[in-house]
Amino acid sequence: MNRWHLWKRIIPLLMVFSLLLTGCSLVGQGSNPIDPKASVAEEQYGLILLSIGIMILVVIVVFALYFYAIVRYRRKPGDDSIPKQVEGSHKLEIIWTVIPMILLLILAVPSVALTFSQDEDYSDDPEVIQVKATGHQFWWEFEYSDLGIYTAQDLVLPVNQRVQFELTSSDVIHSFWIPAMGGKMDTNPGMTNLLYLDTPAEPEVLLGKCAEFCGESHALMDFKVKVVSQEEYDTWVANMQAPAAVVEADVKSGEELFKQNCMSCHAIDAGTPGLGPNLKGFADREVVAGYLEMTDGNIFEWIKKPEEFKGKTVEMPAIPLDDNQFNDIVQYLKTLKLE
């Protein structure tokens, strides 16, 4: 009778947990720390697995003792007896002090080792690609310091290559994160941080994010990492370094408008940083503004009223043009392809 009573209480609990565990079957997609695509993320994933293993062990032991105790030692109705007033047990207390110490040691040794090995600095290594990544409200600027290339939002890298990032910020604190390639590092204004990552073995497009809350459109500060074959990468570098091609006659008016209104901030050759995002190869980018599909409509809406997409902190000034003129600029921007 009493046993039944008690199961009535355990069953809803078990139901809750089974519902929660269904969460495990859902698989995350896109850029994902537990689906590592490159060595740094893989090493970190190994530590994550080790720690999850130890923690599940601890949780199982505690849960077993706990459920046994609350099931076994319930007070029966009418039972007014007083249990033995136990003070404690030195033996038991020493056991549950020493065992966690051992578990923590097992965890601490590889943690410390990896903390040091992942903090290597490859800034002077000629084999390693050097990239300066700068966080802005709310976009990313990448400078390939050895190649003299500036670009924004799309980070192009070759496969199987180590990349040394030099991270900083132009305004507030952001955090540079490509989950599938490795952990994040903050970009602090007035300081530089170093972080190296390896690229995947196969060509992929990975999602990068800003992880530190940086204001109104923090959530929209995504970027794309295009990992391509070595040949494609070399071609891309050559194209970026080449001067811009002469535009066709039908977008001449767009080019004119762009030069008058946009050029003071947005460079279209990769050698110049510019105040706003560098637009060389703009039409090749995966998305507009880091998250919108690359369509004429989205480009149009975005350049016309950026503040409606990324909030009032976007510093792009209002441009006094009519819709046709905006359209001309869109047509011009679409010609900003490499090759």
Chain length of the chain: 339
To another protein, the closest distance from the beta carbon of 243 in angstroms equals 34
In the numeric block, the tokens 């040091």 are attached to: 116
To another protein, the closest distance from the beta carbon of 142 in angstroms equals 18
User: CB-based contacts of 268: which residues, under 8 Å, 6+ apart?
Assistant: 244, 258, 278, 279, 280, 282, 336
DSSP 12-35: HHHHHHHHHHGGGGS---SS-TTS
Q: Does 185 bind another protein (CB under 8 A)?
A: yes
To another protein, the closest distance from the beta carbon of 4 in angstroms equals 15
Draw the binding track, 194-223, toward another protein (x: CB under 8 A; -: no contact): x------------x-xxxxxxxxxxxx-x-
Would you state the structure tokens that stand for residue 255, as one six-digit string?
Answer: 């080019």
Would you state the structure tokens that stand for residue 301, as one six-digit string?
Answer: 């809406």
Binds another protein (CB under 8 A): choice among 41, 225, 257, 262: 41
Q: Does 4 bind another protein (CB under 8 A)?
A: no
Q: Does 58 bind another protein (CB under 8 A)?
A: yes
Burial (CB count <10 Å: 0-12, 13-18, 19+), residue 206: buried
According to CB under 8 A, which residues from 222 to 241 bind another protein? Answer: 222
User: CB-based contacts of 320: which residues, under 8 Å, 6+ apart?
Assistant: none
According to CB under 8 A, which residues from 242 to 281 bind another protein? Answer: none
Query: CB of 105 within 8 A of CB of 140?
Result: no
Draw the binding track, 90-129, toward another protein (x: CB under 8 A; -: no contact): --xx--xx--xx--x--xx--xx-xxx-xx----------
According to CB under 8 A, which residues from 285 to 324 bind another protein? Answer: 291-293, 298, 309, 311-313
According to CB under 8 A, which residues from 9 to 28 bind another protein? Answer: 9, 12-13, 16-17, 19-20, 23-24, 26-28
To another protein, the closest distance from the beta carbon of 270 in angstroms equals 27
In the numeric block, the tokens 């706990």 are attached to: 66
Binds another protein (CB under 8 A): choice among 135, 158, 183, 274: 183
Would you state the structure tokens that stand for residue 171, as one six-digit string?
Answer: 């305004």
Would you state the structure tokens that stand for residue 309, as one six-digit string?
Answer: 């997409």
